[in-house]
Structure 1
Amino acid sequence: MKLQSIVLAALLSTAFGGAMAENYTSPVIALVGDDAGSWTKGFETNHTVGLFTDTWTFQYGGVAAEATGFIKNLQNTKSNIDFYSATLNGVALDISNLGKKSEIEFFDLPVNGKLTLVLTGETFGTGASYAGTIDVTSAVPEPTTYGMLMGGLGVMAFLARRRKQA
């Protein structure tokens, strides 16, 4: 009889005990790029009350670059989000949960083409939402670098021609 009570209590607690918000998995989101080797995109979602795990996938041009970004909850007097973990391509990100202000920031993380951002947390009150942005910047050489490269190639061509004539 005691075992039946324990099993029944376990079933009821899993069925009704823990509120679970919906998890979100984004489709692959293309970052918007410019001619200077920079890509960016904003994103947002909202949740009902409970635990959640969100997975965001971003894609850009694919060259080696660095990612910078932030995620913040959109707070109000009736709801809140606490972030429990955050990773970008498996690298743990810094989280700050201070009252109704929760945020995640990251700077200059090396990336290469595809980015996977995984956030876990919990919403309280009547549900809550968060928004963020991600920026990817590649190392684009300065125009003077191209000038020096062309000058060096010119000197090498001159020396090769001189040796050939001698």
Structure 2
Amino acid sequence: MKLQSIVLAALLSTAFGGAMAENYTSPVIALVGDDAGSWTKGFETNHVVGDFTDTWTFKYGGIPAEATGFVKNVQTRVNNIDFYSATLNGVALDITNGAVKSEVEFFGLPVNGTLTLVLTGKAFGTNASYSGTMDVTSAVPEPTTYGMLIGGLGVMAFLARRRKQA
């Protein structure tokens, strides 16, 4: 009799309990940089029906900078995502859940090294997805910028001295 009760309880809990989508934790994603002190990377994932918590970890050059980006889901007739919360390094981000799309946006958040983006939400449909972009721009010039500045000042000093002698 006990076994029947346990089996019945297990069946009822799965039949009436909320569905849980699979949570996702990304490996560390290296942002791709350029000579101007900007790093960027796109990302995306899919979910099936239910609640989820996704953790994305990004790494860049590590100098003080600002992060800007977005995460977006475009709703279809059978697939959608609503975001419950979003944080970047513990700072709450702006969320908009609408009839056509759900999105998270952030602009100019101070960062330094590793960024952790945590998204919680609910997926509706068998193949709901979202994608986004993480952009980091440094406020500190790169060493090559300093080299060009010093070279330019040297050329200007040379020309000024040459005019003075003439």
Alignment correspondent of 2:104: 104
Q: Give the deviation of 1:64 after TM superposition.
A: 0.3
Q: Give the deviation of 1:11 after TM superposition.
A: 4.9
Q: Give the deviation of 1:9 after TM superposition.
A: 8.1
Q: Give the deviation of 1:125 after TM superposition.
A: 2.6
Q: Give the deviation of 1:139 after TM superposition.
A: 1.0
Letter in 2 for 1:78: V
Q: Give the deviation of 1:72 after TM superposition.
A: 0.2
- Indicate if the aligned counterparts of 2:41 and 2:135 stay in contact, CA closer than 8 A: yes
Q: Give the deviation of 1:29 after TM superposition.
A: 0.2
Letter in 1 for 2:14: A
- Indicate if the aligned counterparts of 1:51 and 1:123 stay in contact, CA closer than 8 A: yes
* TM-score of the aligned structures, taking structure 2 as reference length: 0.78
Alignment correspondent of 1:88: 88
Q: Over the residues paired in the alignment, what is the CA RMSD in angstroms?
A: 2.6
The percentage of aligned residue pairs carrying the same residue is 75
Query: Per the alignment, in what secondary structure is the counterpart of residue 113 of structure 2?
Result: strand
Does 2:34 correspond to 1:34? yes
Q: Which of the two has greater strand per residue?
A: 1
Q: Give the deviation of 1:99 after TM superposition.
A: 1.6
Q: Distance between the aligned counterparts of 1:99 and 1:13, measured in 2?
A: 33
Query: Per the alignment, in what secondary structure is the counterpart of residue 63 of structure 2?
Result: strand
- Indicate if the aligned counterparts of 1:54 and 1:118 stay in contact, CA closer than 8 A: yes
Cα deviation, 1:27-85, whole Å, max 9, x if unaligned, reads: 00000000110000000000010000000000000000000000001421111100000
Query: Per the alignment, in what secondary structure is the counterpart of residue 36 of structure 2?
Result: coil
- Indicate if the aligned counterparts of 2:46 and 2:128 stay in contact, CA closer than 8 A: yes
Cα 1:35–1:18, aligned 2, differ >3 Å: closer, same or farther?
same
- Indicate if the aligned counterparts of 1:75 and 1:129 stay in contact, CA closer than 8 A: no
Q: How many residues align?
A: 144
Letter in 2 for 1:19: A
Q: Distance between the aligned counterparts of 2:83 and 2:93, measured in 1?
A: 11
Q: Distance between the aligned counterparts of 2:88 and 2:13, measured in 1?
A: 31
Q: Distance between the aligned counterparts of 1:119 and 1:139, measured in 2?
A: 27
